[in-house]
Amino acid sequence: MWRHASRRILQAARQTRTLKSLIKKRPQDDDALLDTLRSCTQLYESHIAPTNDTTMGPLERNYQPTMLPFVLLLGNHSSGKSSFANYALGRRVQQCGVAPTDDGFTVIAPGEEDADQDGPALVSDPDLGFEGLRQFGPGLVQHAKLKLRTDLAATNFCLIDSPGMIDAPGGSTLDHGHERGYNFEASVRWFADRADVILLFFDPDKPGTTGETLSVLTNALSGCDHKLHIILNKADRFEKIHDFARAYGALCWNLSKVIPRKDLPRIYTTCIPPAEGEVREGHGDLANGLEDLRRTRDDVMAEVFRAPTRRVDNAVTRLRDAASVLLMHLDVCSAARSARRKELFALYAPSVLAAAACVSGAGGLFVAGAVSPAVACGAGGLAATAGLHYLNAKNCRRNLERLDSQEGLDSLYRKIYAKESVRGDGESLATWHVVRQHLLEKVVPVGGAALAPAAPMGAHKKLRKILDVEAPRLRRQAAPATYPNVRHDDGSEAAVP
């Protein structure tokens, strides 16, 4: 599945009478990029996916990338997502306004003619890569759209506009998308995992104050920092510098509560030029600084149009992250099995030895002719053995329950990854959070980490090779033009700009 999808990413869409025939033919990309995608696909399919399926791993089953690279637009209601989409695409595709104008995800792709398709048609084509949206139910699928348009500025990637994020009436946040009819946070995670560039919009009126936005940033976008760009939009609407400072400060304050690091990422302050015939009110002193806003907007646009080239970088990143997460899952489950065996040995070994001693003593007395003492010794010894086993069994159950608790799993992680824990390795800790959540939510309820199937022979070695050898090699291979003529220890070449 990955192999075929990766080839379609860098080649022309086949000209048939199906939906994909409307997608424009992409220009031929560099052979090195195609080779890198093929390698990522082969390694994932041959080493990672089978091991993940066998061991109840945390990676998504039957992962399928989309046919075209895409940019995901997220943000508060009325933050300017649709206006930005129209500006980036070079034509008016999305409706814009103060009131909510879109209640679902809209895929905007280049086509040979203007055409609209509903959500069921979008997810029904197995080659487009959106079949996975079915898992979120009809609430999402029936509100999704596909818009194919001619004469777009983006000819080799697509944009995905999303519903504006708001709080439910009464100030409560939207809980698991119940008010939407589907799990909004999980669906955003699905799109974010496949996106090549993510833009998160905030507007001056709601600078990060909606609970749903902060929840999505905390959970759905976790691990997507390398492709996430935060934008404070509509900066030309401020009347005074003081107003801008308050909105920017409020946004930074809200982001600091959900981004677990001291240094906040760059926040792009920008605006979208008014559409033809549109009159904007509220231009104040900041209108004199519009040139800075234009330059920032150009930086954002440059990131948007890098989406096709970022597809290869993201493929290598995902391969490495998948190998790292799966390897830690295997290590922790293996340690849990060892701990369980020790507990069971501590439970049964004393009982067996005590029972054997009783039987041996009673047998000796019986042979000597002391029948009554033999019976009494045997009965008493077995009773004492049963009592000992009962006490040991209670202790064993308690220890096994602790083993599958968050405290027990954290203890296993610290024991296995002691060096990383001591030096405060942030990457290792972030990987552990992903693995631990999967174990607690998916593995523990069906038997526990100790009963998860063991990895096939050689799986650890293959995953370690992907992390230490293959991923660095593919990273260099993906950027031959940027790093030419510099020889590495492994004989590959890369570059001084």
With bands split at pLDDT 50, 70 and 90, how would you rate the model's confidence at 28? very low
Pairing of strands 485-487, 228-232: unpaired
Is 482 exposed, middle or buried, given 0-12, 13-18 or 19+ CB atoms closer than 10 A? exposed
Using one digit for the tens of pLDDT, what is the confidence trace for 430-478?
A: 899 999 999 999 998 988 888 889 998 999 999 999 999 999 998 888 7
With bands split at pLDDT 50, 70 and 90, how would you rate the model's confidence at 26? very low
| Geometric angle at alpha carbon 385, from 381 and 386, rounded to 5° | 120
Using one digit for the tens of pLDDT, what is the confidence trace for 50-68?
A: 999 999 999 988 888 888 8
Cβ contacts of 462 within 8 Å, gap of 6 or more: 47, 51
Which residue has better confidence, 484 or 320? Answer: 320
Can you list the domains of the chain with their CATH numbers?
66-305 (3.40.50.300), 324-486 (no CATH)
pLDDT average, residue stretch 21-28 = 44
**Exposed e or buried b per residue across 76-106, where buried means at least 16 C-beta atoms within 10 angstroms of its C-beta:** bbbbbbbbbbbbbbeeebbebeeeebbebbb
Whether residue 490 is predicted with pLDDT greater than 70 in this model: the reply is no
Nearest alpha-carbon partner for 328 in 58, 79, 100:
58
Task: Please give the structure tokens belonging to residue 78.
Answer: 């009325």
Judge whether 67 and 9 are in contact, CB under 8 Å.
Answer: yes
Range with the poorest average pLDDT among 192-201, 232-241, 460-469: 232-241
Which bin fits 208, alpha (ψ -120 to 50), beta or left (φ > 0)? Answer: left
Q: State residue 283's pLDDT score.
A: 52
pLDDT average, residue stretch 250-263 = 77
Using one digit for the tens of pLDDT, what is the confidence trace for 298-327?
A: 899 999 988 888 888 888 999 999 999 999
Distance (Å, rounded) from C-alpha 54 to C-alpha 368? Answer: 58
Looking up tokens 């220009």, which residue turns up? 27
By percentage, how much of the chain surpasses pLDDT 70?
Answer: 71
Nearest alpha-carbon partner for 336 in 429, 420, 441, 455:
455
Strand pairing partners for 447? Answer: none
Distance (Å, rounded) from C-alpha 25 to C-alpha 346? Answer: 66
Distance (Å, rounded) from C-alpha 307 to C-alpha 159? Answer: 10
What's at 211, amino acid-wise? G
Give the count of beta carbons closer than 10 Å to the beta carbon of residue 358.
19
| Geometric angle at alpha carbon 168, from 163 and 169, rounded to 5° | 135
Nearest alpha-carbon partner for 102 in 79, 120, 121, 124:
79
Using one digit for the tens of pLDDT, what is the confidence trace for 93-139?
A: 888 765 555 678 999 998 888 889 899 988 988 778 898 899 999 98
pTM for the model: 0.75
Which bin fits 68, alpha (ψ -120 to 50), beta or left (φ > 0)? Answer: beta
Whether residue 375 is predicted with pLDDT greater than 80 in this model: the reply is no
Max mean pLDDT among 233-247, 334-348, 476-490 falls in 334-348
Pairing of strands 145-149, 267-269: unpaired
Which residue has better confidence, 311 or 180? Answer: 311
Judge whether 269 and 254 are in contact, CB under 8 Å.
Answer: no
Whether residue 77 is predicted with pLDDT greater than 70 in this model: the reply is yes
Task: Please give the structure tokens belonging to residue 348.
Answer: 């049964």
| Geometric angle at alpha carbon 38, from 132 and 459, rounded to 5° | 80
- Contacts by 128-135 with C-beta closer than 8 Å and gap 24+? 128/19, 128/20, 128/66, 128/67, 129/5, 129/64, 129/65, 129/66, 129/67, 129/194, 130/66, 131/64, 132/62, 132/64, 132/190, 133/187, 133/190
Give the count of beta carbons closer than 10 Å to the beta carbon of residue 151.
11
